[in-house]
Amino acid sequence: MSAYLNPLPQVELFSDRQWIDAMLRFEAQLAMAQAECGLVPQAAAQAIAQACASVALHPEALAAQARQTGALGMAVVAPLQQWLQRHAPEGLPWLHWGTTTQDVVDTANAMLTAHALEALQRQLKGLQQSLLHMAHEHAATPVLGRSLLQPAQITSFGFKCAQTAAALGRSSAQLQRLAAQALCVQLGGAVGNSAALGGDAMRVEQALARRLGLKACGYSWHTQRDDWMRLGMEVAVCGGSLAKLAKDWALHAQYEVGELCEAARGITSSAMPHKRNPVHCLQALAQTKAVPQLAATLLACMDQAHERALGEWQAEVVHWAQLWTHVHAAAAALCAAAQGMQVHALRMQAHIDSLQGVVFSEQLAQVILPLLGKPEAQAAVALCAQQALQQGQPLPALLAAYLKEQGHVVSETLHAQLHAAADVQAAAQASALRCHELLTQMTSAGQPAPLNESIA
């Protein structure tokens, strides 16, 4: 039932069938790599590959056997041994030779993680392209900046989009860098020293890595999980960026705010047909709620004793898959939200206008500072700001009246300065400039350009 929170349930990540296929592929390609290096008879390697292609493994039976032994890899090796015993006994002595069950599982997990990374990167790229498109289109669209959920100064909606696109681009690039170090073959054998393979260990590892599309790191990482964990932590950081975007969009989409809305998808409330719930933001927020706890759990799994963990690594295998699955689903939800997102610029402007210029209090205080001094200027703006909201009158006009009451001459130049300080479009230009700078930086860094747009 949890699939309703995933907009792409058809995309399989770390499924039982994928695990089985990856572990069988490891055993087949290990034998072929060893034959390539002259360590295993070619006929034996072919027999093992045939066994891996022929044996029928069922997830339920595999899980039942693994529960008895505590070793998922053994549950794969035993059926292969039985098949070889019946059909090709010449391969039996060489099956799983020079390796251990953790080598099977870790290497299979690296293969499945490579697939998950590709799936996540596709969603991040799609989301980033949509954000860049909105950034370009709304670079100078004024919107209230909000700090502590209260109106602050003016920014632009495009700048907000560009900032998020940049953050996701950094995560995407970091994921690729870390994956190049972490997605490695594991071939340490019983205690991580590849003793059975001896001086041929490196050649076998390199041949196996080439066949599986992974890296040969040249060392065992059975209980040294640093590179692996760095990759996982970046996935969690990416999840945090996605959660921030989902929350911001959901707040913009509140009915009484109404600055954004997701594409219409029919009735989204059983009791209130007028509602237009931000369903994809809901999905993304729900998916990312577990991410910090999963990251903490994975870090807690690093104290793995000696040469093989007792429980920590086994827990890591389970929670690792959950982390990637949650973050991929969140990215997919926001990618879908972005593709149909409707931006209500007039509503953004209306919220700014309703505040009667009080969001320009800092700029207005700077204008009158030469007349009053800093403390008095800030006090005058604070007083007039309250009146502006209560009376529904523009703050610049109230400040001009206040200055006259205090005996100051309010010249036409000062009037113009007060109104210029509260100019919405001018205020948005600072964010528009930063927005275009970010777009240029991202394009220079090779990140995707806005769809169907050129950067000005």
Cα 391 to Cα 28: distance, rounded to the nearest angstrom: 79
pLDDT-based confidence at 65, cuts 50/70/90? confident
pTM of the model: 0.93
Give the type of residue at 318: V
pLDDT-based confidence at 3, cuts 50/70/90? confident
Residues 339-368: what's their mean pLDDT?
Answer: 96
pLDDT of residue 427: 95
3-class SS at 156? strand
- How does pLDDT run across 371-417, given as a tens digit for each residue? 999 999 999 999 999 999 999 999 999 999 999 999 999 999 999 99
Candidates 14, 304, 323; CA nearest to 175 is 323
Instruction: Tell me the CA distances in angstroms from 107 to 126, 346, 451, one per residue in order.
Output: 29, 54, 38
Which phi and psi angles does 154 have, rounded to 5°? -85, 135
Mark out the alpha helices in 88-185 (DSSP H runs). 101-137, 157-182
The answer to whether 388 and 356 have CB atoms below 8 angstroms apart is: yes
Cα 242 to Cα 237: distance, rounded to the nearest angstrom: 9
Dihedral over alpha carbons 355, 361, 362, 368 (to 10 degrees)? 150
Higher-confidence residue: 44 or 263? 44
Query: Where do we find the tokens 């939800």?
Result: 333
Candidates 191, 219, 23, 193; CA nearest to 110 is 23
Those residues whose C-beta lies under 8 Å from the C-beta of residue 177, and which sit 6 or more positions away, are: none
- How does pLDDT run across 256-287, given as a tens digit for each residue? 999 999 997 654 444 445 567 999 999 999 99
Those residues whose C-beta lies under 8 Å from the C-beta of residue 415, and which sit 6 or more positions away, are: 400
- How does pLDDT run across 294-328, given as a tens digit for each residue? 999 999 999 999 999 999 999 999 999 999 999 99
- How does pLDDT run across 111-130, given as a tens digit for each residue? 999 999 999 999 999 999 99
Cα 4 to Cα 310: distance, rounded to the nearest angstrom: 35
Give the type of residue at 17: R
| pLDDT of 452 over the 90 cut | no
Cα 302 to Cα 313: distance, rounded to the nearest angstrom: 8
Cα 333 to Cα 325: distance, rounded to the nearest angstrom: 12
Retrieve residue 58's tokens: 């069922």
pLDDT of residue 274: 54
pLDDT of residue 451: 47
Cα 269 to Cα 126: distance, rounded to the nearest angstrom: 29
**Portion of the chain with pLDDT greater than 70, in percent:** 95
Cα 383 to Cα 398: distance, rounded to the nearest angstrom: 10
CA 426 to chain centre: 34
CATH class of segment(s) 1-99+189-220: mainly alpha
Those residues whose C-beta lies under 8 Å from the C-beta of residue 67, and which sit 6 or more positions away, are: none
Retrieve residue 343's tokens: 């931006």
* DSSP letter assigned to residue 301: T
Candidates 61, 69, 62; CA nearest to 23 is 62
Instruction: Tell me the CA distances in angstroms from 9 to 236, 332, 397, one per residue in order.
Output: 20, 10, 57
Burial class of 336 by CB neighbour count within 10 A (0 to 12, 13 to 18, 19+): buried
Which phi and psi angles does 394 have, rounded to 5°? -65, 135
Taken in order 163, 168, 169, 173, the sign of the CA dihedral is positive
| pLDDT of 453 over the 70 cut | no
Cα 216 to Cα 202: distance, rounded to the nearest angstrom: 8
Please list the residues that pair with 151 across neighbouring strands.
Answer: 146
Domain 100-184+221-345+431-456 in CATH 1.20.200.10? The answer is: yes
Where along the chain do its domains lie? 1-99+189-220, 100-184+221-345+431-456, 358-421
Q: Give yes or no on whether 1-99+189-220 and 100-184+221-345+431-456 have one common fold.
A: no
**Mean pLDDT taken over the chain:** 94
Those residues whose C-beta lies under 8 Å from the C-beta of residue 333, and which sit 6 or more positions away, are: 6, 7, 246, 280, 281, 283, 284, 287
